[in-house]
A and B are shown apart, each in its own frame.
Chain A
Amino acid sequence: MALLTPFSKVPELNTATVLLVENEEELQSKLANALVQYKKDFNVNVRLARKLPLPVENKETRPRIDLIVFVVNLLSERSLQSVESSLAHLHSDCFLGKVCFLVTDARCGSHTQERLVSVRKLAASHQCPVLCAEHRTVDGVNAAAVRLLNILKVSAGMSPIATTALYLSSLTRCSVTSDLEED
């Protein structure tokens, strides 16, 4: 089974690539536009996918992926299931700071709270951070893009202070507190 590995390709100069994986394909295009248009001092390539595994035919042309973001819409059960099945296609090296979860609609309704708990447990077991985003306004999308860019900068190795992706993820990874575990 072809797993997505983080270090199998040579990085390009002053360029970082982020892969946005979302089952509904709604937020990822808005986020992609916000990411490429934001003023920053390095190039950003964005790849959009629905789920993993990625098509084999793109393997040669695909650049090295520095950050993989799973976008989960908490209003839909299928979104979370698709992310869980995609996680199996990642090489374990990716979880050393190159995977991040982005959830939307965390404040709507009661089912979303249960799903948020499951996402947090999933992220905690994989040592990855969870970001909450508000996707219905332009400001919300831009804010999410800025946060992703900060994480991307570190995982692509462009942070001026010698911060590595692994160090950042150990600071930002999601933790499941004991009262959550009792639920």
Chain B
Amino acid sequence: MDAQVRSVLRRVIRRIPNKNIENLLKKWNCLSTDQLCALDYTRPKWMIVELVASFCEDNSLNLKQITNLEMMYHIENPDQGVWHACQLTEAQDDAVCVDLTQFKEQFKAHLHGVVRHISIKMKKHEDEAIWIRIAWGDNFSKPNHLKPTYVVHHLHTSYVFISNLMAKHKIFLCQALVMATKHGSIKDGHLSTRSLTGMRELLLRRYQQVFPNAHSSILQERNTLPSHPCIGKEHSGHEDMRHQMSCEAFGHGPTPKLETAVYRLETRYRGNDNQTLSDREEFFRGVVRFSSSSLLDSLRHCVASGMAEGPVTPLLSAITQRGRNYFVITDKGPSVSSQASAQRA
């Protein structure tokens, strides 16, 4: 094992927290049972790293197996790092006929053709997701396995989820995706979050949505706490209506886990009080940022408890309706502009 492989191995093992490492090593199946028994997981982390590194040296494992371990860890714990969503558009007629092997071949062929040194690994997970790990090199240097890019795509959907991609490699990846899936182009999805599961749930609509209908059946499903017969609520009708509105905008039950929503304002200042700021030709540029440990839950509570008034403003409901959390608002009107601006890194 040369120095590069050793450093990659050390980094991979160091990054896996102790609670996952035992199961992962068992699943990995590259260490013998004696070696696995010899590992004592109560020891400090550096000792475990050293032990596993020496076992891997003894077994003369290669880079492929080590990157396999890293990929297995990421597939089981996808909610790390920052994920960005992209959307494939202009599907060609035979886009629905692309099958897994065809996608794999085309993707790898394209990338190997344009980048001289690159290492690509693809795995299909049981929930129909294709995980791709790419270590980028360039014309002179070998692939850098310490900073791989992860890409997740569900075949025949138009969404691609990308983590840890540098700007200079973006064009290669986008070209490869567009060609392999037989679409016309790819555009920025304006959605970024730490939780891949949350992002997938939001875009692939895997949360419990509520559609407006005349019967408002959700009101009967709601399990209200049984209250004393002597206690009566005056505004129960309003309360039910607010609950219905909030669920229509943000879903019922557990919501996808988003952390932030950012609105960039490129509008003119419209207050009356400030002489210096109003009546100017230039835009009053500002950024409004909502943060929460679970943003959709907080927004839903705001609407349901009456803190936010009236029908839910389309600026907020656009988060779920359009599946994005970065918006640019211009002066053309109250609707949300969907102009693609430079993607935040």
Contacts and interface: CB of A to CB of B under 8 A. Distances in A.
Given A33-B228, A43-B230, A46-B230, A57 B235 contact: no
B230 A45 contact: yes
A58 interface: yes
Contact of A44 (B230, B233, B234, B237): B230
B314 to A, nearest CB: 24
Interface string B215-244: 000000000000110111111011000000
Nearest to A47: B232
B228 A50 contact: no
A50 B235 contact: yes
B305 interface: yes
Interface string A27-50: 001001100110000011111111
A48 B232 contact: yes
B232 A45 contact: yes
A25 interface: yes
Contacts of B227: 29
B306 interface: yes
B227 to A, nearest CB: 8
Interface of A is mostly: mixed
Most buried by A among B227, B231, B234, B237: B234
B232 A55 contact: no
B234 A49 contact: yes
B234 A55 contact: yes
Nearest to B305: A25
Nearest to B233: A48
A57 B235 CA distance: 10
Interface in A51-89: 54-55, 57-58, 62
Interface in B91-135: none
A46 B231 contact: yes
Interface of B is mostly: loop
A37 B227 CA distance: 12
A28 to B, nearest CB: 9
Contacts of A58: 234
Contacts of B230: 36, 43-46
Most buried by B among A32, A57, A62: A32
Contacts of A62: 232, 234
A41 to B, nearest CB: 15
Interface in B144-166: none
B232 to A, nearest CB: 5
A54 B234 CA distance: 7
A37 B233 CA distance: 17
A95 to B, nearest CB: 20
Contacts of A57: 237
A47 B233 CA distance: 6
A55 B238 contact: yes
Contacts of A45: 230-232
A33 B228 CA distance: 8
A180 to B, nearest CB: 32
Contacts of A46: 230-232
8 contacts: A36-B230, A46-B230, A47-B234, A48-B233, A49-B234, A50-B234, A50-B235, A57-B237
Interface of A: 19, 25, 29, 32-33, 36-37, 43-50, 54-55, 57-58, 62
Given A32-B228, A46-B231, 11 more contacts: A29-B227, A29-B231, A37-B228, A43-B230, A47-B232, A48-B233, A49-B234, A50-B306, A55-B235, A58-B234, A62-B232
Q: Which 8 A-B pairs have the closest CB atoms?
A: A49-B234, A46-B231, A32-B231, A36-B230, A36-B228, A48-B233, A45-B230, A54-B234
